[in-house]
Amino acid sequence: MSEDIKLIDVYIMGKHYKVPEGLTIMTALEYCGYRLVRGVGCRAGFCGACATVYNFKNDPQLRFDLACQKTVEQDMYLAQIPFFPAAKAIYDIEKLEPVGATVLSIYPLMEKCFGCNTCTKACPQELEVMWYMSDALRGDIPEVMNKSFDCVMCGLCAARCPQGLVPYNYALLCRRLYGRYLAPRSKHLDDRIKEIEAGKYNAEIDKLKKADKNELQRLYQSRDIEAAY
């Protein structure tokens, strides 16, 4: 390794390692030979599966982040939460009404929230989790959708809730209700669906199915795309 690369001390699950300064927690884990079995989004899995809890030597305060975003620091003690055991209700979105009473009937424990704001402090996306919980209790589904839109369901809010609540599942239900019943319809999308159902693109799809890998790569690379500015 080049002598101008500075190595720092980190502790992964209590074991000491030296890693290059500037790595994300994710790349530092891989540098040390670890691999998150439950794949994360940037590792051919899904986003939100690299939730990390950490503190520092002689500093017991717990901190929270996503391993793909946070860079390692000197004397950092790391532990992963690739899955948090939070129960999710089973429901048929086609049989639900987009009202607050629906959310409460499916997740009645939501009323136990007393606004301590621990969930917001734990969120690595800096979402206003406590506030969208309040919106959900008031039945304001569009506002829950807006405030929780960037949630990656990492589970850290649930891990820290003293009442054992699962805010991200409540928000997911509200986003589904909004998308199914409340979101403005797109005329362009409706028109395209009608074209597909009428068979307008069948011949083109059949042609793509019969093409080999080289032809598919050629078509992909020669496609018209909007210029980046």
Q: What is the DSSP letter of 183?
A: S
Two structure tokens written together for 22: 């500037």
56 in Cβ contact with 75 (< 8 Å): yes
CA pair distance 39, 207, nearest whole angstrom: 34
Residue 1, pLDDT above cutoff 60: no
CA pair distance 17, 26, nearest whole angstrom: 14
In a domain? residue 99: yes
* Segments forming the whole domain that contains residue 97: 93-182
Q: What is the CATH number of the domain that holds 152?
A: 1.10.1060.10
Same domain, yes or no: 18 and 41: yes
- pLDDT tens-digit profile of 12-48? 989 999 999 999 999 999 999 988 766 666 765 557 7
Same domain, yes or no: 178 and 193: no
pTM over 0.75: no
Neighbours of 39 (CB within 10 A): 14
Q: Which of the four pLDDT bands, split at 50, 70 and 90, describes residue 205? A: very high
CA pair distance 159, 154, nearest whole angstrom: 10
Same domain, yes or no: 106 and 162: yes
Two structure tokens written together for 223: 């496609």
Please work out, in degrees rounded to the nearest 5, the angle formed at the alpha carbon of residue 162 by the alpha carbons of 102 and 178. Answer: 25
- pLDDT tens-digit profile of 64-117? 898 988 999 999 999 988 777 888 899 999 999 999 999 999 999 999 999 999
Same domain, yes or no: 50 and 104: no
